[in-house]
Amino acid sequence: MEPLVALCKRRGIVFPGSEIYGGLAGTWDWGPVGALLKKNYKDLWWKDAVQLRDDIVGLDAAIMMNPKAWEASGHTTGFVDPLIECKICHQRFRPDKPDEVKGHEATHKGKTVEWTEPQKFNLLVKAYLGIIEGKQSEIFLRGEITNGVHVNFKNVLDTTRVQIPFGIAQMGKAFRNEITPGNFVFRSREFEQLEVQFYIKPEEAEGKKWFEYWKKDRMKWFLSLGMKRENLRFRDHEDDEKAHYAKAATDIEYNSPWGWQEMMGIHNRGDWDLSRHQQFSGKNLTYRDPETGETYIPWDIETSSGLERPLLFILLDAYRKDEKREWLQLDPKLAPYKVAVFPLVSNKPALVAKAEEIYHNLRKSMMVSWDDRGNIGKRYAAQDEVGTPFCITIDYTTLEDQTVTVRERDSMEQKRVLVSDLETFILKVI
């Protein structure tokens, strides 16, 4: 983890939030390279979840919602973590994360640490809305992005041609007053989520079928991004750890440097959300089967993952170091830059002009990095550290035969490719 965190800072992937003011615990700013990585992940996810499917539509609901929505979904009372406080230094921890508790006790070297009794701590972040002092209304920043989907169930039914079974996909920011943010971006107080709420007939057999379907499908997704199978596993929730809404719940976990950790959750939420929103809003949220005329509140199979957390695990899986170099063996689909273009030297106008021509052409179809500083070895090293799959060098031979040197990140092999073939060659790989 340590060399990866240093690399992320050094190469503009992730910076501590508000760093020049001493930071703000649990927040992170994604730099120029990290922003590209996030965008690539989200674009691929949207393509997989929405673009390539007939049975899922997208949505982008507001972060701020009528507070009644959070009462209905149970978050104002049920979105809680247990909290204990160290009687020596008053730092707070989660008793359900025993490793973190033990780690803290060790910091008080040899002293016996006493803890307060566990109390429930609500994770919703409060905000105040309105312009008249004293009359502002208290609202919540969304603690998960799910609610915005359920409250639009009817709107989506009325404006699209979807029929059950169908899903609504959404991604966006969520906020949690986490008791113990930490492990770099693993648990932060502001993060993004990517979710599909998949509505099905309210029947046990359908529930089991789609729950299994989505488990397999999500595992396939992470493998398609180049993650190692041996670092991933399913873990079913025990009855006493299931969220207040869940009929069945499984996590996909990652074998992190600090143990197996949740990367995403797959939940059978039953009809909890829609029936509660129907009850609290007084609006009819039932579905009418167009063939049988049968009316019911559907069940929801949810797949919910973060963005920063899977990206951290993808980066950990991709991180490589040997005696010569450090590099990110990222799947080319995810790589922030697809290719870097180098003129061999920066003081030969003919070489620079040719390199610029190639750079300007390629960047119409992909993210391209440009570097004309220092020696080629240093330029390769910089690109390796952000996972750029290919580097192209324009040299004197290019001016004679219209070929360039293409160097591949993982094998470090070099070959000459015709300038006219470059774009097709790279697009095929990415």
Q: Summarize as ranges the residues that interact with ligand ATP (CB under 6 A).
A: 144, 176, 178, 187-188, 191, 193, 262-265, 304-306, 308-309
Supply the minimum distance, in Å, between the C-beta of residue 193 and ligand ATP.
Answer: 5
As a whole number of angstroms, the distance between CA 221 and CA 8 comes to 24
Q: Which is nearer to ligand ATP, 190 or 331 (CB)?
A: 190
Q: Which is nearer to ligand ATP, 186 or 299 (CB)?
A: 186
Supply the minimum distance, in Å, between the C-beta of residue 96 and ligand ATP.
Answer: 8
Decide: 423 and 405 in contact? Cβ < 8 Å: no
Supply the minimum distance, in Å, between the C-beta of residue 43 and ligand ATP.
Answer: 18
Supply the minimum distance, in Å, between the C-beta of residue 36 and ligand ATP.
Answer: 20
As a whole number of angstroms, the distance between CA 286 and CA 106 comes to 54
Supply the minimum distance, in Å, between the C-beta of residue 305 and ligand ATP.
Answer: 5
Q: Nearest Cα to 396, choosing from 345, 334, 340?
A: 345
Q: Which is nearer to ligand ATP, 30 or 191 (CB)?
A: 191
Using CB atoms within 10 A of its CB, is residue 183 exposed (0-12), middle (13-18) or buried (19+)? middle
The DSSP secondary-structure symbol of 286 reads: -
Q: Which is nearer to ligand ATP, 179 or 328 (CB)?
A: 179
Q: Which residue has the tokens 């008249």?
A: 132
Q: Which residue has the tokens 């992320």?
A: 8
DSSP 342-411: EES-SS-HHHHHHHHHHHHHHTTTS-EEE--SS-HHHHHHHHHHTT-SEEEEE-HHHHHHSEEEEEETTT
Supply the minimum distance, in Å, between the C-beta of residue 175 and ligand ATP.
Answer: 9
Q: Which is nearer to ligand ATP, 192 or 384 (CB)?
A: 192
Which residue is nearest to ligand ATP, using beta carbons? 306
Nearest-5° angle of CA 250, CA 198, CA 285?
A: 125
Supply the minimum distance, in Å, between the C-beta of residue 383 and ligand ATP.
Answer: 28
Q: Which is nearer to ligand ATP, 171 or 264 (CB)?
A: 264
Q: Which is nearer to ligand ATP, 162 or 248 (CB)?
A: 248
As a whole number of angstroms, the distance between CA 376 and CA 392 comes to 10
Q: Which is nearer to ligand ATP, 101 or 358 (CB)?
A: 101
Q: Which is nearer to ligand ATP, 267 or 354 (CB)?
A: 267
As a whole number of angstroms, the distance between CA 295 and CA 286 comes to 6
Supply the minimum distance, in Å, between the C-beta of residue 110 and ligand ATP.
Answer: 31
Distances in Å between the alpha carbon of 371 and those of 52, 368, 393, 409? 36, 10, 10, 16
Supply the minimum distance, in Å, between the C-beta of residue 262 and ligand ATP.
Answer: 5
Supply the minimum distance, in Å, between the C-beta of residue 201 and ligand ATP.
Answer: 25
Task: Compute the chain's Rg from CA coordinates.
Answer: 25
Query: Torsions phi, psi of 393, nearest 5?
Result: -115, 130
Q: Which is nearer to ligand ATP, 271 or 308 (CB)?
A: 308
Peptide bond into 165 cis (omega under 30): yes
Distances in Å between the alpha carbon of 6 and those of 10, 326, 382? 6, 11, 14
As a whole number of angstroms, the distance between CA 336 and CA 7 comes to 14
- Token pair belonging to 251: 């996590």
Q: Which is nearer to ligand ATP, 191 or 272 (CB)?
A: 191
Supply the minimum distance, in Å, between the C-beta of residue 86 and ligand ATP.
Answer: 20
As a whole number of angstroms, the distance between CA 18 and CA 99 comes to 29
